[in-house]
């Protein structure tokens, strides 16, 4: 993944007394624990696809590659699924 540039905006911190997110004001914020509300990243990587929810406008990047970990995980899940189906069929029809 090659992210060429990211821009982070809207720094906020959690205020325990008011129970809400407060914008970070440079020089006056007492909290050491803060984060950014939004980030905008541009990339030249073609294996990433931006997925956006049309109702909430939330978005995330989906990597369009298949690696060895994915292969082994799906392989083991397939084996266990087939073994479970075989066991159910064996106990229902053949054992009677």
For the segment 8-17, the average pLDDT, to the nearest whole number, is: 84
Instruction: Please give the helix or strand (H or E) that residue 53 lies within, else none.
Output: none
Between CA 19 and CA 8 the distance in angstroms is 23
Between CA 25 and CA 11 the distance in angstroms is 8
Q: Please state, rounded to an integer, the average pLDDT across all residues of the chain.
A: 83
Instruction: Please give the helix or strand (H or E) that residue 32 lies within, else none.
Output: none
Give me the sign of the Cα torsion angle 80, 84, 90, 93: negative
pLDDT at 93: 84
Q: Which residues contact 16 (CB under 8 A, 6 or more apart)?
A: none
| Extents of the domains making up the chain | 1-64, 66-96
pTM above 0.75, yes or no: no
For the segment 1-25, the average pLDDT, to the nearest whole number, is: 80
pLDDT bin (cut points 50, 70, 90) of residue 1 is low
């Amino acid at each position: 993944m090659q992210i060429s540039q990211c821009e982070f905006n809207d720094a906020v911190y959690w205020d325990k007394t008011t129970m809400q997110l407060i914008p970070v004001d440079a020089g006056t914020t007492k909290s050491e624990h803060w984060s950014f509300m939004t980030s905008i990243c541009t990339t030249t990587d073609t294996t990433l696809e931006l997925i956006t929810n049309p109702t909430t406008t939330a978005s995330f990047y989906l990597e369009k590659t298949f690696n060895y970990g994915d292969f082994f995980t799906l392989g083991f899940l397939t084996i266990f699924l087939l073994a479970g189906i075989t066991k159910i069929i064996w106990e229902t029809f053949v054992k009677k």
